[in-house]
């Protein structure tokens, strides 16, 4: 029987799995199959420095192309797996070729959530998920361009910051009452709205797109009775996990491919990592599917540990970040509606944190230009710290000192 590891997906989770296997001394063949034409690369720069033209593709590579040759990792790019045959331990490519495996790692990621309103297929309506997506329009972000961004989440606001700096006339359309509505406290949402508005970005909340219009290309975005002129549209309304391959192979699906804390599915030869995987949470209870770089890398390492025979659960406190203008937003933990919020620091001075408490326990912290809060909260969330809210509100008091006292 072949000892080959086949990794379906050449993103950060798949790339990290392959890298960690070789770092751990694994010597059998590794085959990474990806439908993009690029070696595994980091996605965060797509909406930041790559979009701004400040870095090229080579700066985004997880490892240089020569690394995969040196480490005998076979990259099969621009290839698509269309079927998983668990009884024969093989996958079938679109070409009809069958690739056998001893271990299969599903790192299939997610795809952009598409708009379905009239005109959504007009030239000039774009998305942001891959290098090719961004390369198609980043050079168009020039002074005077009328850019409409659909979606006021992290991606949309990061794109807005880059485009505004390049002189574009930027409008952000968000259907919810607040930007970042699902993930941050209202105070944080209002802060970012104010920052973008002061920079010249036109943010429209409670505004849903009903149609894209134009004669052969995008010219207008209609939101009921409102119309916004547009030379270019970038849509950022989330992703959909790619679970179809696993579902067709009768693996359990529940908002992602269901895995244990070591990334194993119920088929002990099949693992799943990254944006497509739904893993149990010992910290918060229940299950979660996370779309983040730390999660992708951590699960990739966990999958490698299983294959290496030293299964190590991935249990890190979730963390994320967003760069907009001169602001670094660093987030630890997971908040949810109903959490009480304690603000600390100086909002006007653009240096503050929002701390989220659930039943008195610190469960999340969102810090703007407050790196110490970010680092310290990550440890305290893992410890299920119960702070005194009045003392926590003192931004001059270090969290670690409050916890120690």
Q: Is residue 378 part of a domain?
A: yes
Which of 235, 261, 291 is a domain's end point?
Answer: 235
Longest dimension (CA), the chain: 67
Same domain, 200 and 134: yes
pLDDT tens column, 96-147:
999 999 999 999 999 999 999 999 999 999 999 999 999 999 999 999 999 9
- The pLDDT, as a whole number, for residue 181 is 86
Q: Is residue 313 part of a domain?
A: no
- The pLDDT, as a whole number, for residue 35 is 96
CA dist 101 → 179, 187, 195, 375 (Å): 45, 50, 51, 40
Same domain, 338 and 389: yes
Same domain, 210 and 253: no
pLDDT tens column, 352-402:
999 999 999 999 999 999 999 999 999 999 999 999 999 999 999 999 999
Better-predicted residue by pLDDT, 330 or 405: 330
pLDDT tens column, 48-68:
999 999 999 999 999 999 999
Per-residue confidence at 1, pLDDT binned at 50, 70, 90?
low
The alpha carbon dihedral of 174, 180, 185, 187 has a sign of negative
Which of 212, 235, 258 is a domain's end point?
Answer: 235
Same domain, 230 and 255: no
Same domain, 131 and 225: yes
Q: Is residue 318 part of a domain?
A: no
**Overall domain count for the chain:** 3
Same domain, 231 and 129: yes
Same domain, 125 and 219: yes
Give strand ranges (E) for 164-264: 169-173, 202-204, 211-213, 220-223, 226-229, 232-235, 239-241, 257-258
Task: List 90's β-bridge partners, or say none.
Answer: 85, 100
Same domain, 250 and 104: yes
- The pLDDT, as a whole number, for residue 388 is 96
Same domain, 181 and 281: no
Which of 235, 260, 284 is a domain's end point?
Answer: 235
In whole angstroms, give the CA distance from residue 307 to residue 241.
24
Strand 232-235 with 146-150, pairing: parallel
Same domain, 23 and 159: no
pLDDT tens column, 292-335:
999 999 999 999 999 999 999 999 999 999 999 999 999 999 99
Please, what is the angle between helix 12-23 and helix 293-307, to 10°?
A: 40
Q: Is residue 320 part of a domain?
A: no
Same domain, 123 and 205: yes
CA dist 350 → 187, 271, 321, 377 (Å): 12, 43, 16, 19
Which string of DSSP letters, residue by residue, matches 43-108?
Answer: SGGGGTTTTTTSS-GGGGBSS-HHHHHHTTEEEEET--EEEEEGGGTEEEETTS-EEE-SEEEE--
Flag whether pLDDT at 182 surpasses 90.
no
Provide CB contacts within 8 A for 12, sequence distance 6+: 40, 41, 42, 43, 62, 274, 293, 296, 297, 300
Residue pair 203/228 in contact (Cβ under 8 Å)? The answer is no
Q: Work out the percent of the chain whose per-residue pLDDT is above 70.
A: 100
Please, what is the angle between helix 154-165 and helix 186-199, to 10°?
A: 20
Q: Is residue 361 part of a domain?
A: yes
Q: Is residue 319 part of a domain?
A: no
pLDDT tens column, 77-92:
999 999 999 999 999 9
**CATH number, residue 80:** 3.50.50.60
**CATH number, residue 366:** 3.30.390.30
Same domain, 122 and 213: yes
* Domain of residue 82, residue span: 5-111+239-307
pLDDT tens column, 227-244:
999 999 999 999 999 999
């Amino acid at each position: 029987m072949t000892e080959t590891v086949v990794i379906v997906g050449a993103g950060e989770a798949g790339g990290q799995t392959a890298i960690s296997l070789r770092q751990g001394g694994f010597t059998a063949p590794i085959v990474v199959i990806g439908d993009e034409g690029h070696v595994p690369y980091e996605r965060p720069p797509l909406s930041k420095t790559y979009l701004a033209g400040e870095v090229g593709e080579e700066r985004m590579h997880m490892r240089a192309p020569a690394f995969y040759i040196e480490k005998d990792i076979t990259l099969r790019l621009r290839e698509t797996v269309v079927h998983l045959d668990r009884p024969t331990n093989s996958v079938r490519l679109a070409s009809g070729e069958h690739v056998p495996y001893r271990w299969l790692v599903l790192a299939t990621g997610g795809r952009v959530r598409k708009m379905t309103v009239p005109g959504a297929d007009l030239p000039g309506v774009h998305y942001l998920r891959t290098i090719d997506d961004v390369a198609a329009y980043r050079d168009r972000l020039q002074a005077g361009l009328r850019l409409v961004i659909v979606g006021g989440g992290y991606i949309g606001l990061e794109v807005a910051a880059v485009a505004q700096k390049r002189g574009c006339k930027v409008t952000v359309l968000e259907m919810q009452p607040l930007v970042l509505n699902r993930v941050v406290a209202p105070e944080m949402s209002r802060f970012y709205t104010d920052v973008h508005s002061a920079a010249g970005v036109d943010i429209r909340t409670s505004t849903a797109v009903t149609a894209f219009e134009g004669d052969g290309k995008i010219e207008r975005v209609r939101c009921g009775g409102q119309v916004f002129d547009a030379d270019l549209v970038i849509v950022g309304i989330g992703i959909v996990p790619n679970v179809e391959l696993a579902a067709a192979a009768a693996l359990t699906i529940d908002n992602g491919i269901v895995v244990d804390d070591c990334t194993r599915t119920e088929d002990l030869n099949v693992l799943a990592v990254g944006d497509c995987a739904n893993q149990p949470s010992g910290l918060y209870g229940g299950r979660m599917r996370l779309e983040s770089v730390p999660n992708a890398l951590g699960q990739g390492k966990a999958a490698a540990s299983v294959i290496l025979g030293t299964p190590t659960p991935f249990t890190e406190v979730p963390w994320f970040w967003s760069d907009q203008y001169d602001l670094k937003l660093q987030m630890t933990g997971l908040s949810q509606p109903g959490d009480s919020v304690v603000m600390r620091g100086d909002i006007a001075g653009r240096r503050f944190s929002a701390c989220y408490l659930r039943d008195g326990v610190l469960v999340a912290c969102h810090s703007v230009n407050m790196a110490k809060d970010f680092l310290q909260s990550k440890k305290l969330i893992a410890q299920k710290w119960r702070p005194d809210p009045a003392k926590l509100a003192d931004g001059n008091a270090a969290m670690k000192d409050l916890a120690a006292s």
